[in-house]
Amino acid sequence: MTEPPSDRYGLAHLSPVERTLVVTLIGRARDERRSVPFLGDPVPAALLERLDVDPGRVGVGGTVALATALRSVMLDRAVRSFLATHRDAVVVELGAGLETRRHRIRPGSEVDWYDVELPAAAELRRALLPPEPLSPEGARAHLVAADVTAAGWLAGLPRNRPTIVVADGLVGLLPPDGARAMLTALAGHFHDGELVFNAYPRLVARTVGAQPMMRRLGIPRGYRGFGFDQPRAVEALAPGLVFVDERFGVQERVGALSPPLRITAALFARWPAQARRGVWVVRYRFAGPHRERPGAEGRPGWPRNGAPRGPCPGPARWRARGRAGRGRCLLRPPATRPAGAGR
């Protein structure tokens, strides 16, 4: 076996999940070569040069590279917006890999920035991106080597400061049970702040192992990630998280796309279920320990009589059927559900 050059770092010692860090790295590096970059970050290309990796063999196509850059832009915007109103915030980057978000945003010295990654990948990050301030006025940087699906890893992180937790490419790659455990732990630990990440519908998450690019990195063919079709589904999985909004990649800088992609973007922008199969970023807030729980009085944020404010948030199957009850929302406590509404 040929040893990599002494000034390059191999990935053979990483687990298959850890190796996926190279996918987002290649995507951001390819974006820099575009005539009009979406992200415009030169650091990923420099990092890629220090890895013993052949990008061509990994097989990151143009669509994946574009999606990576788009969601990086969207997540950067969410973090910048949060820091603009919380100057002493905590930022927690889950599955940090070789992400350079802190280098792009350059938050001030009142911010604490935690990059969280599995142990072997964390050591690679420590070698290539040391956890130190980027300038005397830069944020305090911390590197946490931990499995986010295991218990106890949050113990050393502040919980009483405004916090934004961000994850790029991680949540949909986790096994479903692990993702639920992580979301529940985050909702229980943080009381003030936001969680923002890119999400995958269930169908896309179930086919993670079927992607040739993932199999080249060692992900088993039958591997299934975590996905959901409606953003409010996460509220039921992790009480303490409240859905805020969602954004789609098709809403981002459409004019910079090729004409065929512009047409596709225009169609998908009017079709959320399809747009979610592309770049899909969801945002939640931490409601804290005093959040009203769903129960006899209805869902949080609803009137006590159980009638929802605004459109019914559930899918069509949760609406009454038949001429008399068509369109009536069934997401209400059983005691107040209209008679004859059906299932």
Q: Is the pLDDT of residue 4 over 80?
A: no
pLDDT-based confidence at 336, cuts 50/70/90?
very low
221, 103 in Cβ contact below 8 A? no
Burial 150-167 (b: 16+ CB within 10 A, else e): eeebbeebeeebbbbbbb
The arithmetic mean of pLDDT across residues 163-186, rounded, is: 97
Paired residues of 193 in beta bridges? 163, 286
Q: How far apart are alpha carbons 282 and 248 in whole angstroms?
A: 9
Q: Is the pLDDT of residue 295 over 60?
A: no
Which pair of tokens denotes residue 248? Answer: 């789609």
Q: How is the chain split into domains, by residue range?
A: 16-286, 292-343
Q: How far apart are alpha carbons 207 and 277 in whole angstroms?
A: 12
Nearest Cα neighbor of 22 from 52, 62, 66 is 52
Task: Report the DSSP pairing between strands 90-94 and 163-167.
Answer: parallel
Lowest mean pLDDT among 128-132, 183-187, 288-292, 301-305: 301-305
Predicted pLDDT at 270: 62
The superfamily CATH assigns to domain 16-286 is Vaccinia Virus protein VP39 (3.40.50.150)
110-153 pLDDT, tens per residue? 999 999 999 999 999 999 999 888 888 889 999 999 999 999 99
pLDDT-based confidence at 44, cuts 50/70/90?
very high
214-267 pLDDT, tens per residue? 999 999 999 999 999 999 999 999 999 999 999 877 667 654 556 666 666 556
Which pair of tokens denotes residue 269? Answer: 């922008």
Q: How far apart are alpha carbons 54 and 96 in whole angstroms?
A: 21
